[in-house]
Structure 1
Amino acid sequence: MRKCLITVDYQVDFVNGSLGFDGAEKLENAIAEKIEKYRAEGADIIFTLDTHQCDYLTTFEGRILPIEHCIEYTKGHELYGKIKSMVQPNDKVFKKCTYGSEALFDYLRKCDYKEIELCGLVSNICVISNAVLARTALPNAQLIVDSNATASNDESLNTSALNVMRGLGITVI
């Protein structure tokens, strides 16, 4: 069975940088274990990187979230901790300038994945956005989100996001 793991935006700025929050760093081991497990199974590993430019504050997102983050070529843009060193040449890495990745959607539409698991940050923004895109790209694939490998700075929004994903037929474990 063809499957993949998508690690969404587990970047310095979301863990302990400009948009970091307590608990985000605790996901590192769970995400690393997932990457190792999927890699050992021969599954594909995909990463998304929230990627903004110096003009971020003039964008729509910058106006509604006026905190510069994940500016390309800065420390905050990098994957966090040991996750950064786990990227291998065959892994797909998609930079995205907003919540969901159009390039990821286009890529998934051309794949025959039967199972897709998502993890990373932030559950109620980018994880759910990319889960919806994955569901749209591959409507018959089993989608999984591990509640121990995603989080939000707002626990009520995290819970709501996980419930919405369940409503979309995504298995939340």
Structure 2
Amino acid sequence: MKRLLVVVDFQNDFVDGALGFSGAERLEGPIAEKIRAYYDAYDEVVFTFDTHRRDYLNTQEGRNLPVEHCIDGTPGHDLHGSVAGLLDRATAVFDKPTFGSEGLFDWLRTAQKAAEELGRAPFESIELVGLVSNICVIANAVLAKTACPEVPVIVDAACTASFDPSLNEKALDVMEGLQIQVINRR
């Protein structure tokens, strides 16, 4: 049975762009290494892209976070650094206009239902990496746990971070409380 890696929003605007923060750039190597390891094992890798349009500031999120970011078609929307070169073998890519990916959830539910008909789980595990831990990573980890309740959901703490280290730790605590396994936590 295959494992699934979900690379959440490792985009330029979250690393060194509009919402970039110190420390995010250090995740590039570990995330790229993890993606390569999944590919080498013939496991599945999917990517989410925070995706906004030019009217972002008129959306609810834009009114609450009035910083234009990840505008479709701009360099800030692109994957960051060497991770960008690893997109070509992805199983799926999900653009998402909000924190959690409806497309990812639907894809996971379809995999879950197909696997149930065969009397098994769809994946050995679902692991998440990327940005930002206390916003999009936690939202998509909860969606993965909801879509595939019997599949272990894992978040690699060494491959996620937040602009606020305190919120990062709190998000990791909350995920552990939701029976999401947090690995490589210092």
TM-score in same-fold range (> 0.5):
yes
Contact 2:95 2:101 in 1 (8 A): yes
Superposition map of 1:31-46 within 5 A: 31-46=31-46
User: Is there any run of 5+ residues in structure 2 with no aligned partner, and where?
Assistant: 112-121
Local SS of the residue matching 1:164: helix
Local SS of the residue matching 2:87: coil
Deviations 1:13-50 (A, max 9, x none): 00000000000000000100110111111110100000
- Matched residue, 1:55: 55
Superposition map of 1:3-152 within 5 A: 3-111=3-111, 112-152=122-162
User: Which amino acid is the alignment partner of residue 143 of structure 2?
Assistant: L
The Cα of 1:88 is off from its aligned counterpart by 1.6
The Cα of 1:157 is off from its aligned counterpart by 0.3
Q: Distance in 1 between matches of 2:52 and 2:15?
A: 17
Contact 1:94 1:103 in 2 (8 A): yes
- Matched residue, 1:162: 172
Aligned residues: 173
Deviations 1:131-169 (A, max 9, x none): 000000000001111111000000000000000000111
Q: Distance in 2 between matches of 1:38 and 1:45?
A: 7
Q: Distance in 1 between matches of 2:8 and 2:20?
A: 15
Q: Distance in 1 between matches of 2:89 and 2:20?
A: 28
Q: Distance in 2 between matches of 1:29 and 1:52?
A: 26
Deviations 1:55-88 (A, max 9, x none): 0000000000000000000000000000001112
Contact 1:32 1:83 in 2 (8 A): yes
Query: Normalized against structure 1, the TM-score is what?
Result: 0.98
Contact 1:114 1:140 in 2 (8 A): no
Q: Distance in 2 between matches of 1:78 and 1:88?
A: 13
User: Which amino acid is the alignment partner of residue 140 of structure 1?
Assistant: E
The Cα of 1:113 is off from its aligned counterpart by 1.6
> Structure 1 residues 37-46 or 117-126, which shifts more?
37-46
The Cα of 1:90 is off from its aligned counterpart by 4.6
Identity across the alignment (%): 56
Q: CA 1:14 to 1:94, structure 2 compared with 1: closer, same or farther past 3 Å?
A: same
Runs of 4+ in 1 over 3 A off after TM superposition: none
Local SS of the residue matching 2:31: helix
User: Is there any run of 5+ residues in structure 1 with no aligned partner, and where?
Assistant: none
